[in-house]
Structure 1
């Protein structure tokens, strides 16, 4: 790649090469109308077969990294996005009882500090994904961690429920900025192939690792010191990540500026769909709020503000869908759903990730409320999930190009069912090694394989200019699925608690999770077809090849027509 050094480091700036410059994967040149032209990757030898060349390029280190250490720094910085997001989700459930007693939070309001983070995150993902496509993933990524650090620092000083909810909601804007950019950066820098598979596998492995880290520090804080230290430890980690990200992630600001200037005033210019953004964000907030709060409202779904907000939120989402279908700059363009298997995969992932949210929260509740586990015991009981996640994801990165994606996600779907099933059938006084340990292993198999395969499928199915969309959709499905399914699980728990008791009400929730995972497995097995994640041309390169082929055909046709005309004229002269 054309390299512009930043601060003298080993990582350059993503840029577009000059005309006539050697083109390599991910490189573009501007054509006459300002649109990027992607040429096919060139090899070192003219005799190298195209298939061999593409396979080699899918394995080698991207040229933007001058050394392996530069690439390691990039992967570390990107992976921290998963660690910190899960840190602020998982750890909060452990310190929540301490917060309830310390700040005097009513039990009916205790779910909101936990929900506010994920709700804000999910609702703003599409907006920041579009801004990432417009102005670059690098600035959005770094800014997200700075924002998260700021509100984590302030959150540790919360004095009441209102301040805590406010800080948790604003914390969620940080991941909404950096999560779409993290997926986009991997999708842009790495071309399809084994190396990209491995990076995404490491990225996915950091989700259970972050979940464990959050529980670990929350357990220590709850046991030995003031709860605010959990926020401040997260703040320190966010600051460290912001610094390493600035130093190790290639900047795409200049590249986006050039494309923006070249496309200024044309239909190809990427713009913000402000009307769609407003209706989507407000609609999602009201819709999800109604579902989450219905379990704690005075009269459940009969409470006026619950069904009013649900109806208004649903109507706003219908209006947003209408806007998206009739605007050129839709936040979710119709072309996204035209990708083969995309629609059924979205529905299946929504249920998969919803199952994950239920499992993580209610497994914690079960192990503390039913099994009597202490915060530090939770750390030990969740350790297999974190360790297994690291091992499974890393090994998966080496075999994703050998096995069909459909077979992998169906295998993960079976694991999704077994994980909650073991909790659902666990007897009173259940043994950890017989029920909890295998459940943790199945859970990590399900999330790691599904997350990695889905990320690779999304990023390789969309063009470079839509990698922000790919990142935002991956994370939107994840966090919206968690929020909605947790809302319904909370309803089940609330309505069965008095009649069945604590343990059986948790069992009812786990059976609901089994049902969600089962429906997801059926959808994936019957309607989703994903091939092996092997080295291949990118979407942009395939489009360029098709355009070149059409141009050659047009040129050949015009030449033949000219020859026929000349032959006709010669025949006329002879006559």
Structure 2
């Protein structure tokens, strides 16, 4: 492996910064008296690429809608699945595939699309990705059998893989470190919860009153709005195309099959007839590990322009941050899946009432979006991560300790356990997501913003699928051990207790980090320029 040393943070005290820019090629603001920039002022003002506040608002709307729609098409599908399965005669053993295949396709292709952002520009990839998702969302509503449905869902995942890293790249290029960036990223994170909740509500309403088809077509309408906002507001002069950039074909041919095989094995390991002992699960897992070794070699030694930038692992605390985030995203996946199952299967709550029970996540995400700009530059990132971990801990712990006497929807069960768990869940999700994105995008130069977006989203998909599979493995092992004395409610609570332990491990990693605050600072590109000048 190439020699790697911790990157040193460059401060403004050592350099003349009279000619610095915002992190893209054109200056974003004149510098006071031709001397050091007023970083706090620069970090709060509207980026110069937007002539008006309306343009900036439209730009932010386009990018946050992209994250919202990826969550929309993930969360709501489980709600429409029973009605859809009956409509198209979806076989019981094929029901996991339409749910899992979008995430599999997205996770496998995120990094190649991130490189495409460097080659043709993030704006083009963003628009193309949404146009692709819109098209296949329309087609999904006309699906007549499970093969067509699975293909459509896989193609939706390709759209996710295109616009998610492109959206992160656009935000990372436009906003410099400081309060304004913190606010925008807080809003961005809030729309993940909003999309999750919106997907559940639309799915419940369309299934109850119209048809499951309108779940897809409603999403297509919002996709059209996203494209319009993007075309009108995303700056054309970001100059993010790199003439020297090229596709890392060696990385593509190792990383894509590696991620696809591993996520397939993790997903199928709990669903296959013989579990992890099923031959095709073992074969795909072994092949995935082989391709993983090949991917590590290609990215560390063989590729001249690796899809995963080597510099990201030289940033201090980055490895521990990524490890803790993988665990937090696993807890998030456990929370979202098993709370919905517990609410519907144990408490026997209708889909519409279940959607109402998730309302605190929507309200909490909006409140946190506003508060984020006020606290992210004041509190150290490790403190925020500890708060996120504490919130995650209580979100799963409260479900794990619901008394067995509450086997139906009662006001006491909701207000004493479920409501505070939902509040804690959204606090954990938003804080962890925002701290990770702000820290990593601030630490990386403009040219690597798309790769950073791809890497963080890959961690979300990989961490979620891995820990969900571990949960199913733990539950199935306990079920076999206890034979007929392991009711459904105890199976779900076992998964919640796994989430408690996983959160504790992630918090142990988080408290060792010393990342500082997300305050006004030079961009990574400016620091590189200063080092060259010195």
TM-score relative to the length of structure 1: 0.85
Count of residue pairs the alignment pairs up: 506
| Alignment partner of 1:113 is 2:101 | no
Give 1:144 deviation, angstroms: 0.9
Residue equivalent to 2:141: 156
List per-residue Cα deviations over 1:262-316 (Å, max 9, x = no partner): xxxxxxx222111111111111111111121122222122211111111011101
Residue equivalent to 2:523: 538
List per-residue Cα deviations over 1:388-411 (Å, max 9, x = no partner): 111012211222111111111111
**SS at structure 1 position matched to 2:76:** helix
Give 1:98 deviation, angstroms: 1.7
1:460·1:539 contact (CA, 8 Å) conserved in 2?
Answer: yes
| Alignment partner of 1:70 is 2:70 | no
1:490–1:170 distance in 2 versus 1, CA, 3 Å: farther
- 2:493 pairs, out of 500, 507, 530, with 507
Residue equivalent to 2:444: 462
2:114·2:162 contact (CA, 8 Å) conserved in 1?
Answer: yes
Supply the distance in 2 between the matched residues of 1:166 and 1:519 (Cα, whole angstroms).
38
After TM superposition, list the pairs within 5 Å mapping 1:429-508 onto structure 2: 429=406, 431-496=413-478, 499-508=485-494
List per-residue Cα deviations over 1:58-100 (Å, max 9, x = no partner): 1111001111111111111111012101101110111122223
2:368·2:430 contact (CA, 8 Å) conserved in 1?
Answer: yes
Give 1:41 deviation, angstroms: 6.7
2:20·2:526 contact (CA, 8 Å) conserved in 1?
Answer: no
1:117·1:170 contact (CA, 8 Å) conserved in 2?
Answer: yes
2:361·2:422 contact (CA, 8 Å) conserved in 1?
Answer: yes
Residue equivalent to 2:84: 99
1:153·1:231 contact (CA, 8 Å) conserved in 2?
Answer: yes
Supply the distance in 1 between the matched residues of 2:42 and 2:273 (Cα, whole angstroms).
60
Supply the distance in 2 between the matched residues of 1:483 and 1:218 (Cα, whole angstroms).
23
Residue equivalent to 2:181: 196
List per-residue Cα deviations over 1:294-342 (Å, max 9, x = no partner): 2222212221111111101110111111111112211113211010010
**Please, which moves more after superposition, 181-190 or 289-298?**
289-298
- 2:278 pairs, out of 303, 310, 320, with 303
1:138·1:252 contact (CA, 8 Å) conserved in 2?
Answer: no
Give 1:479 deviation, angstroms: 1.7
Supply the distance in 1 between the matched residues of 2:434 and 2:370 (Cα, whole angstroms).
10
Residue equivalent to 2:255: 280
Supply the distance in 1 between the matched residues of 2:24 and 2:288 (Cα, whole angstroms).
43
**SS at structure 2 position matched to 1:243:** helix
- 1:337 pairs, out of 307, 313, 316, with 313
**Please, which moves more after superposition, 484-493 or 241-250?**
484-493
1:390–1:235 distance in 2 versus 1, CA, 3 Å: same
After TM superposition, list the pairs within 5 Å mapping 1:216-365 onto structure 2: 216-252=201-237, 255-257=239-241, 259-260=242-243, 269-326=244-301, 327-365=303-341
1:283–1:68 distance in 2 versus 1, CA, 3 Å: same
TM-score relative to the length of structure 2: 0.91
2:77·2:99 contact (CA, 8 Å) conserved in 1?
Answer: yes
List per-residue Cα deviations over 1:446-476 (Å, max 9, x = no partner): 0111111111111111111111111111211
Residue equivalent to 1:173: 158
Supply the distance in 1 between the matched residues of 2:30 and 2:48 (Cα, whole angstroms).
13
Give 1:177 deviation, angstroms: 0.5
| Alignment partner of 1:516 is 2:502 | yes
**SS at structure 1 position matched to 2:517:** coil
After TM superposition, list the pairs within 5 Å mapping 1:48-59 onto structure 2: 50=36, 53-59=38-44
After TM superposition, list the pairs within 5 Å mapping 1:411-430 onto structure 2: 411-428=387-404, 429=406
* Runs of at least 5 residues in structure 1 that lack an aligned partner in the other structure: 1-20, 30-38, 261-268, 550-575
1:151–1:496 distance in 2 versus 1, CA, 3 Å: farther
2:384·2:431 contact (CA, 8 Å) conserved in 1?
Answer: yes
Give 1:108 deviation, angstroms: 3.2
**SS at structure 1 position matched to 2:170:** helix
| Alignment partner of 1:378 is 2:354 | yes
Residue equivalent to 2:5: none
Give 1:252 deviation, angstroms: 4.7
2:309·2:451 contact (CA, 8 Å) conserved in 1?
Answer: no
Supply the distance in 1 between the matched residues of 2:240 and 2:529 (Cα, whole angstroms).
20
1:337–1:22 distance in 2 versus 1, CA, 3 Å: closer
List per-residue Cα deviations over 1:73-131 (Å, max 9, x = no partner): 11111110121011011101111222233233333332221111111111111111111
Give 1:540 deviation, angstroms: 1.2
Supply the distance in 2 between the matched residues of 1:470 and 1:154 (Cα, whole angstroms).
31
**Please, which moves more after superposition, 143-152 or 155-164?**
155-164
**SS at structure 2 position matched to 1:50:** coil
| Alignment partner of 1:125 is 2:107 | no
- 2:364 pairs, out of 377, 388, 391, with 388
Supply the distance in 2 between the matched residues of 1:396 and 1:85 (Cα, whole angstroms).
22
Give 1:243 deviation, angstroms: 1.3
2:240·2:447 contact (CA, 8 Å) conserved in 1?
Answer: no
**SS at structure 1 position matched to 2:148:** helix
Q: CA RMSD in A?
A: 1.8
Residue equivalent to 2:4: none
| Alignment partner of 1:134 is 2:119 | yes
Supply the distance in 2 between the matched residues of 1:181 and 1:323 (Cα, whole angstroms).
24
Supply the distance in 2 between the matched residues of 1:453 and 1:133 (Cα, whole angstroms).
25
Give 1:134 deviation, angstroms: 2.0
Supply the distance in 2 between the matched residues of 1:488 and 1:226 (Cα, whole angstroms).
35
Supply the distance in 1 between the matched residues of 2:24 and 2:492 (Cα, whole angstroms).
53
- 2:31 pairs, out of 9, 31, 43, with 43
Give 1:40 deviation, angstroms: 11
